[in-house]
């Protein structure tokens, strides 16, 4: 069971909500301290959404895994909705892979451990919970790192029980969304697609959509498709550290796993349990016909950044 806190208690512990950590799903996140324990307090920005999410607190509390951020408690007073999570000290993955925080790029071992941790967290949601969940917003900003660079997924308050409700609007973040979001035929395989994007960002050290790149390289997944077709998969590897270059054969194998996850047809994507088997060396991507996986999708730009018209327009 989670702890119910008063608004006053959480306001005091966060010093009046002054220490902003970032922005999560549905609201801002602030650092706080309850007794001797540092916490992260998420303020739900929409009262109606807050009531809906708080009604599911006990369901969220039941989701306990070493690779998921722990929900400690909540507050529901009048129009205030707040969730209290454990504090994760090193922040989100994006600051380490995009910007090389403190000019220290992650080495290959750290990146492998992080990718495996995300896979295990997703496998728990998809296959090991009593009821099947989908996260729906997998991205580096929702992957937090502890003091030992072990990862924990955040914002699983966005989780939805598969088959429990019909999704009537697109959710998630452009650049990480699977093609089937355009039809709202959603399964847990949307997370597998997003996971493939996260793999590529983690091993290339750049954003999936990066407008600072030359026009032909703006979209990482389009670039991946081109490099796969031309058998040049070493090109996107993060060159900021010799460690990545020295492990390029292993990195290329990881890219092949990403390509498998990025298949246009969700049926062709692996389950997260099979992803873990690949990462742990129990099976290889080649076992499933790697040559057929080198064509990520016909029109990656169509799905990497869905246009507002395709989201909002009805039949014409």
For the question of residue 243 being annotated catalytic, the response is: no
Q: How far apart are CA 54 and CA 74, in angstroms?
A: 8
Q: Which of 247, 174, 235, 236 minimizes the C-alpha distance to 205?
A: 236
Q: How far apart are CA 300 and CA 223, in angstroms?
A: 10
Of 110, 137, 151, 191, the catalytic one is 137
Instruction: Let me know if 55 is exposed, middle or buried by CB neighbors in 10 A (0-12, 13-18, 19+).
Output: exposed
Q: How far apart are CA 282 and CA 290, in angstroms?
A: 16
Residue with tokens 């994760």: 88
Q: Which residues contact 212 (CB under 8 A, 6 or more apart)?
A: none
CA torsion angle 294 298 304 307 (round to 10):
180
Q: Beta strands 3-4 and 71-77: pairing type?
A: parallel
Q: How far apart are CA 27 and CA 80, in angstroms?
A: 12
Q: Which residues are catalytic?
A: 137
């Amino acid at each position: 069971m989670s702890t119910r806190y008063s608004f006053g208690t959480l306001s005091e512990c966060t010093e009046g909500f002054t220490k902003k950590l970032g922005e999560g799903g549905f609201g801002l996140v602030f650092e706080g301290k309850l007794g001797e324990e540092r916490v992260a307090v998420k303020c739900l920005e929409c009262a109606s959404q807050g009531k809906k999410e708080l009604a599911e607190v006990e369901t969220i509390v039941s989701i306990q895994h070493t690779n998921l951020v722990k929900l400690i408690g909540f507050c529901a007073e009048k129009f205030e909705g707040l969730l209290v999570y454990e504090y994760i000290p090193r922040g989100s993955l994006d600051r380490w892979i995009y910007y090389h925080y403190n000019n220290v790029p992650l080495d290959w071992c750290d990146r492998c451990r992080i990718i495996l941790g995300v896979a295990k967290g997703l496998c728990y949601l998809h296959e090991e919970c009593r009821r099947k969940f989908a996260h729906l917003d997998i991205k580096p900003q929702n992957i937090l790192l502890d003091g030992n660079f072990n990862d924990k997924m955040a914002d699983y308050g966005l989780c939805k029980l598969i088959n429990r409700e019909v999704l009537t609007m697109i959710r998630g973040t452009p650049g990480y969304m699977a093609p089937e979001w355009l039809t709202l035929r959603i399964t847990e395989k949307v997370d597998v697609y997003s996971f493939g994007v996260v793999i590529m960002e983690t091993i290339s050290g750049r954003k999936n959509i990066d407008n600072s790149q030359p026009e032909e390289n703006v979209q990482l997944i389009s670039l991946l498709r081109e490099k796969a077709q031309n058998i040049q998969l070493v090109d996107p590897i993060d060159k900021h550290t010799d460690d990545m270059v020295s492990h390029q054969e292993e990195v290329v194998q990881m890219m092949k796993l990403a390509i498998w996850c990025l298949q246009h047809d969700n049926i062709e994507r692996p389950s997260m349990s099979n992803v873990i088997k690949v990462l742990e060396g129990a099976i290889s991507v080649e076992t499933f016909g790697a040559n057929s996986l080198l064509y990520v999708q016909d029109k990656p730009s169509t799905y990497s950044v869905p246009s507002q018209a395709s989201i909002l327009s009805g039949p014409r």
